[in-house]
Structure 1
Amino acid sequence: MSTTPRERNARCSVARSLEILGEKWTLLVVREAFFGVTRFADFRARLGIAPDVLTARLETLVEGGVLERRPYRDAGQRQRDEYVLTEAGGQLKTALAAFVEWGDEYRPSGFGPSVVYVEEATAEPVRLAFLTQDGRELEPDEVALVRGPGSLGDAAA
């Protein structure tokens, strides 16, 4: 029985994630949300993004459950929406840290890291790692990808 690319992608964790996060600007909007930015004008000012593109990215992130729209009203102004990370959005911190680590290593700017991840309580730097169930740390080349139960067997997991 043959499957279509659409059916394969529906089973693929990466493809499903990219439906929400794969467009240019999307992860930069999420990054700014981690820095506490919640308002449209502030996202625009910090990113230099066109308003129509920002509107589309915010809508995708809201529909995907990454951001939540919340109404607010400044004194004398009309009601507007702000955009706040959801629990699912907050879990993207690890993915962003992986992008930062990879970018700093393989696409350095010459200025040093633009962000450093630290333990909140101590301000000591932290890093990402693969850990076994018993807590042993593995190097990336010691970790293999295997097909999961949702795989078709001949498609990417």
Structure 2
Amino acid sequence: MHLEGRLADRDSWTADRCSVDRALSVIGTRTAMLVLREAAYGAHRFDEFARRVGVTDAVMAARLRQLTDDGLLRREPYREPGQRTRFEYHLTDMGRDVLPALLALMQWGDRYLTGEDGPPLRVTHMDCGAPVTAKVTCARGHEVPSDEISVRRSPRRVTPDATP
């Protein structure tokens, strides 16, 4: 990546308000990412999440509450006959938009962290069967290698001393 303009002088600014930092404050825990993975795989109920993620009920309750409060999941009530009302959790648009990051992490793990048996899962396009991959592209559809990425301040910044 190439930093441009005022960003080129790395000592003249801090990244304390960057979007990566903000995103990690919401989804930066292992548990949060695994809950989002399970929701993407179709889990909806508390017990499913707790069992499949492998955490205590208290940890799962806190994580589901956080992801709901942050807008990545929405709660929908359901009631089994003779039981009290409980809640299912479903991805919101905001939660579904994390999917490329999840796929990128999976792809990275498959490439660098799998053993001799290879990747545990195969992700494909249901329509044609081709592998699904996460790639960095520009808005015109070109795949962009990291050494061709330019980073500059957004023109929407209104305060001259705001950090990038």
Unaligned runs of 5+ in 1: 1-6
Give the TM-score normalised by structure 1: 0.83
Equivalent residue, structure 1, for 2:52 = 46
Q: Which has the higher contact order (CA 8 A, sep 6+)?
A: 2
Measure how far apart 1:108 and its partner are.
2.0
Runs of 4+ in 1 over 4 A off after TM superposition: 149-155
Higher-Rg structure is 2
Distance 1:113 1:132, change over 3 A: same
Equivalent residue, structure 2, for 1:86 = 92
How many residue pairs get matched? 149
Equivalent residue, structure 2, for 1:148 = 154
The residue type paired with residue 78 of structure 1 is R
Q: Give the secondary structure class of the aligned counterpart of 2:30.
A: coil
- Pairing partner for 1:31 from 37, 55, 79: 37
Equivalent residue, structure 2, for 1:97 = 103
More deviation in 125-134 or 30-39? 125-134
Measure how far apart 1:114 and its partner are.
2.9
8 Å Cα contact 1:8/1:152 also seen in 2: no
Unaligned runs of 5+ in 2: 1-13
8 Å Cα contact 1:37/1:43 also seen in 2: yes
Q: Distance in 1 between matches of 2:70 and 2:118?
A: 33
Equivalent residue, structure 2, for 1:3 = none
Q: Give the secondary structure class of the aligned counterpart of 2:89.
A: strand
Measure how far apart 1:146 and its partner are.
3.0
**1:1-157 to 2 correspondences below 5 Å:** 9=16, 11-149=17-155, 150=157, 157=164
Q: Distance in 2 between matches of 1:144 and 1:107?
A: 29
Q: Give the secondary structure class of the aligned counterpart of 2:68.
A: helix
Distance 1:21 1:116, change over 3 A: same
The residue type paired with residue 44 of structure 1 is A
The residue type paired with residue 112 of structure 1 is G
Measure how far apart 1:144 and its partner are.
3.5
Equivalent residue, structure 2, for 1:4 = none
Q: Distance in 2 between matches of 1:154 and 1:105?
A: 38
Q: Distance in 2 between matches of 1:80 and 1:136?
A: 46
Q: Give the secondary structure class of the aligned counterpart of 2:77.
A: strand
Distance 1:135 1:24, change over 3 A: closer
- How big is the alpha-carbon RMSD for the aligned residues of Structure 1 and Structure 2? 2.3
Give the TM-score normalised by structure 2: 0.79
